A and B are shown apart, each in its own frame.
Chain A
Amino acid sequence: MLHRLEFGALVTGAGAAVEAERRGLDLVAVQGDGAWTRLSWIAGVTERIGLVAQIDLAEHAPAVLARSAASLDLLTGGRVTLALADEPGTAEAVEIVRNVLDAGEPRPYRHLGEHYRVPQAQRGPLPAHRIAIWLTGADARSVRLAGRTAEGWIGTPDELAATGKLLDEAAAEVGREAAEIRRVVILDPRAASASEPGAADLFELSVAALLPLVVEHGAGTFLLRTDDPDELRRFAELREVVLRELPEPPPAPIKPAAVRAKRRPGIDYDNVPASLAATAVEPGDLDYARVRSTYMRGGAPGLVLRPRSTGEVADALAFVRAHPGVPFGLRSGGHGMSGRSTNDGGIVLSVQALDTMEVLDAAERLVRIGPGARWADVARFLMPYGWALSSGDYGGVGVSGLATAGGVGWLAREHGLTIDHLRAVKMVLADGSVVRASDDENPDLFWAVRGAGANFGVVTSFDFQVDEVGDVGFAQLVVAADDPADLLVRWGRAIEAAPRTLSGQLIMGPPRPGQPAFAQLMAVVDAADPSVIVDTLQPLAQLAPLYNQNVVLTPYAGIVNNAAEGYHSGQGDPVSRSGLIEHLTPAFAKAAAELIASGAVHWFQIRTVGGAVADIPPAATAYAHRSANFSIVAMGSSERRVDAAFAPLRSHFDGMYLSFETGLDHVADAFPPPTLARLRELKRRYDPAGLFRDNFALGDQS
């Protein structure tokens, strides 16, 4: 037995499809005129049953067909299979459909064939599951084509008996296993051929008629050609009997040869720990498009491990330890700039599935958050309690990427960094041991996790003490920036003079010809009284003529409810430089204005820190540059140009927040000497082999 057996009906009407679903059949197939339209309709009136349409290629251009199939697959949560008759051009059509559906490939698809020309189609949408393509045709050529390329072959019982061997041979020739091709048998109760099981055989002899097809010829799917409710009922009963009499467990899923062919060197795919095999993703898997890249970077990892528990994280790390020469990245929300959470040909460990959130102690406002949650989710979770945890400005950022580094957020001046709310973590260390770290347990580690966590292990849960936060004022102002240096100085002064209830940021871009220079000012005021909000914002609004303003009263969760849905499809490799600074002095502002005017950076942003952030002593956490009032980031695309333009700013800085920095050689800027010395010592203790190295790796020079 090659497959889990499936029983379906080849119907003409929607009513029969609904009946087939009601009776518990596995799938329903349609063929003939308007098959796709009828199947789409059937999809809308059923909820669960598998859907197969036999497509007439004379009526459907393959590239459009691919989109149609992906659409229906997405609409139905992955219920769709395509069947194609073998005609001239079918081989090309299969190739086109497959490639257009391969949405993870960044380049458009080009096919200039004998039968079809697709000069450069966009790929996608990505379907909900891998859409199988079944082929019909009993002559040798068709059977070979199916053996080489299809996920299924369709024929009558006689045809199956006659062609099974050929199918296996054709598959073997291209390195496919027989089990990659499902044999689909059409049973026609009204068939003329005496040798085929007719209605009588089928329903009286039942199992005896089907068993040889399964056992001797590998049939995996039976499709009964009927719209008759009574026949559908009896076929469903037969299904029950057969499944009962063939109690073999379904065979383990196999990786198709086409996927195995894309495997990268150096990775021992066959020994992925059993606990992770089902969720792991490799190139060629459908989910690969969803996991290969991050928000900022295009990537092509060789294997993405997706543990669902702390135990599975330990299993994953054992696998990683066995691959010392292979790049390794750790991923949560995939917004890393410093963190290389994707790579080329390496292993990625994604904690995204560890996304639970719970309240541990309501009186203490103590919550436990999984590393894979996103900050938008956390904010939504806390909102009903009247709580919030200042994180960053973007809701798509992952919990563990930010909460192991710092967390400069909308309430930073009032409530401090995200890490300042951390009370304990659970983590898996490089050797696979699972430890808790807090002020009482492993305090060294707890110190290190708050600012340099990516160097010490995989955090699998965070205990945070969160704040009571009601509605807040959120302002977005666009102001004239005719004299950017002057604006920076005055904005800096206004921020430093503002009460701690105000935190915010300033964004500027390169000058655009013919347009006035402007700056975007954003601020959150933690107050529920509109007049207090307006008063607090007044000094900012008076800095320069306003082009635009928008102030709303919103729950904190409303501000970070800005995460894009869907998967990351970042391309390229960003260049980002950052620094922390105490005051925006005129000398600094002049250098910054020149940087902006240079055109070398397309994004210049200053976030406010200081306030409560500076209440914590520098030695208390690995994030040590506590005296800064501002965190600066500049992004561009050419490393050389950005560095040249950014150099004059550096003398003004007092360290740097590593999360906004893509240059990993700036370890000494991220950590002042005493901090760095202690971190290196701890690194030698906890991760001597340097397993965790994707984000400001602490080398072992002392």
Chain B
Amino acid sequence: MTDYGHDLLFGAFVTPSATAGAELAVVADRAGLDLVTFQDHPYVARFHDTWTLLSYAAARTTRIKLAANVLNLPLRQPAVIARSHATLDRLSGGRIELGLGAGAFWDGVEAMGGRRLTAGQSIDALGEAIDIIRQVWDTSTPGPVRASGAYYDVSGAKRGPAPAHAMSIWLGAYKPRMLRLAGRAADGVVPSLSYLPGGINDYADLNRHIDEAAEAAARPPAAVRRLLNINGTFSDFGRSFLDGPAEQWAEDLAGVALDHGVSAFILASDNPADLELFAAEVAPAVRDLVAAERA
């Protein structure tokens, strides 16, 4: 059993297309999910701008937390990301978290005028960005932001606004170097199950890298929340992992929570009925199963 002791979160991972994206956020809010997230691919014209959609959706919801899953750093600026998140966090009463990615689809990034980085460079850039973001948010330290790195130079930028709550930075992370950055500097990781080549058991490796890096940086591993984007099918008869009735989903996810310490499950679906079922039947059952085991 691996357990970092976090409360469980259940969320939605929604395609940022058309107005449906905003409507699904409202559905998720009403259904009682904890979190609604949108992917961010600014080079794809048919998607909505994730930040705009997220801001709009935040205004149309009352309770649910919102985050990008994950924001494309190469086409955005760290200080702007920090300020806009803080602004929206204040407007929404502390409902915003920051999902951040080093970037992928470099052809798309370059086509829009972003700079192409190697995987390694992009992780270094992300590390610099996290530092800048935390400095901008930190209005209790006097003086301007100090950051002149290899990728960003924003020394002298003013600090603030500070978010309304201690905002988490979650990274889209899979590979050791990125996981080490998360262990060192982030508050969570949010990989997608479908991108784990070995399936859910790969999470043990993810945890190992994160935990080691956290400890090396003198942070408790529990400082890094383990999230997971999932996809599956609700069907009448159980067939396989996350393909079956709600009770089976609950068993499957409780197992993941207890085996790997994953404490947030974000369902990729644009189907309101799936999101409602996930909130109404899966989430409470997983919570019960995990609570029973933790007790």
If over half of B's interface residues share one DSSP class (helix, strand or loop), that class is named, otherwise mixed; here it is: helix
Given contacts A37-B87, A67-B45, contact A44 B55 (CB under 8 A): yes
CA distance A125 to B57 in the complex (A): 18
Chain B residues numbered 57-86 whose CB sits less than 8 Å from any CB in chain A: 57-60, 75-77, 80, 83-84, 86
Are B18 and A40 within 8 A (Cβ)? no
How large, as a class, is the contact surface on chain A?
A: 35 or more
Residues B87 and A43 in contact, CB atoms below 8 Å apart = no
Inter-chain contact B75/A64, CB cutoff 8 Å: yes
Let me know if B19 and A33 touch, CB within 8 A: no
Mask, B139-170, CB within 8 Å of A = 1, is 00000000000000000000001000000000
Q: Is the CB of A38 within 8 A of B87?
A: yes
CB <8 Å contact, A103 and B45 = yes
The answer to whether B88 touches A122, judged by C-beta atoms less than 8 angstroms apart, is no
Q: How far is the CB of B103 from chain A (nearest CB, A)?
A: 14
B18 and A41 form a contact (CB under 8 A): no
Contact B80 A44 (CB under 8 A): no
Q: Is A68 an interface residue (CB 8 A)?
A: yes
Instruction: Name the contact of B112 in the complex, choosing from A33, A40, A75, A118 (C-beta under 8 A).
Output: A118
Among B47, B51, B52, B83, the one with the most A-chain Cβ atoms within 10 Å of its Cβ is: B52
Complex CA–CA separation, A72 to B53 (angstroms): 7
Say yes or no: B111 contacts A108, CB within 8 Å.
yes
Contact between chains at A117 and B56 (CB < 8 Å): no
Mark contacts of A56-98 with chain B using CB atoms, 8 A cut-off: 1 yes-contact digit, 0 otherwise.
0001110110011011101110000000000000000000000
User: Which B residues are CB-close (under 8 A) to A124?
Assistant: 45-46
Contact partner, A64, options B46, B59, B112, Cβ 8 Å: B112
B260 vs chain A, min Cβ distance (A): 35
Known A44-B58, A45-B59: A34·B112 in contact at CB below 8 Å = no
Q: Which residues of A contact B19 (CB under 8 A)?
A: 74-75
Which of A34, A70, A118, A119: most chain B CB closer than 10 A?
A: A34
Contacts of A104-160 to chain B: CB distance below 8 A: 108, 116-125
CB <8 Å contact, B113 and A37 = no
Whether B87 and A34, one on each chain, are in contact in the complex, defined by CB atoms closer than 8 angstroms, is yes
A557 / chain B contacts, CB cutoff of 8 Å: none
CB contact under 8 A between A72 and B56, given known A34-B83, A64-B112, A118-B113: yes
Whether B87 and A33, one on each chain, are in contact in the complex, defined by CB atoms closer than 8 angstroms, is yes
Q: How far is the CA of A594 from the CA of B58 in the complex (A)?
A: 59
Query: Which of B22, B49, B80, B114 has a CB less than 8 Å from the CB of A67?
Result: B49
A7 on interface, CB distance cutoff 8 Å: no
Residues in B with CB closer than 8 Å to A33 are: 83, 87, 161
Whole-angstrom distance between the Cβ of A83 and the nearest chain B Cβ:
16
CA distance A45 to B60 in the complex (A): 7
B110 touches A122 (CB 8 A): no
Given A14-B91, A42-B59; A119-B111 close (CB under 8 Å): yes
Does any Cβ of A come within 8 Å of B48's Cβ? Answer: yes
- Which residue in chain B gives the minimum CB-CB distance to A72? B52
The answer to whether B44 has its CB under 8 Å from any CB of chain A is yes
Complexed CA–CA distance, A41 and B42 (Å): 20
Q: B199 → chain A, closest Cβ, in Å?
A: 25
Asked if A64 contacts B87 (CB within 8 A), the reply is no
Tell whether A235 is near chain B: CB-to-CB under 8 Å: no
Question: A40 contacts which chain B residues (CB < 8 A)?
Answer: 51-52, 55-56, 59
Tell me the bound Cα distance from A67 to B42 in angstroms.
Answer: 8
Cβ contacts under 8 Å, B88 to chain A: 34, 37, 41
Q: Is A36 an interface residue (CB 8 A)?
A: yes
Q: Are B52 and A68 in contact (CB under 8 A)?
A: yes
Collect the chain A residues with CB atoms within 8 Å of residue B110's CB: 119
A59 touches B77 (CB 8 A): yes
Q: Is B43 an interface residue (CB 8 A)?
A: yes
List residues of B whose CB falls within 8 A of some A CB: 18-19, 22, 42-49, 51-53, 55-60, 75-77, 80, 83-84, 86-88, 91-92, 110-114, 161
Of the A-B pairs whose beta carbons lie under 8 Å apart in the complex, a sample of 12, sorted by A's number, is A14-B59, A34-B87, A41-B88, A43-B59, A44-B55, A59-B77, A60-B80, A67-B48, A71-B49, A108-B111, A117-B113, A119-B110
By a beta-carbon cutoff of 8 Å, the part of chain A in contact with chain B is: 14, 33-34, 36-38, 40-45, 59-61, 63-64, 67-68, 70-72, 74-76, 103, 108, 116-125
17 further interface pairs, Cβ-Cβ under 8 Å (given A38-B87, A74-B48): A33-B83, A34-B83, A34-B86, A36-B51, A40-B56, A41-B92, A59-B80, A61-B114, A64-B112, A72-B49, A72-B56, A74-B18, A75-B56, A108-B111, A119-B111, A122-B111, A125-B48
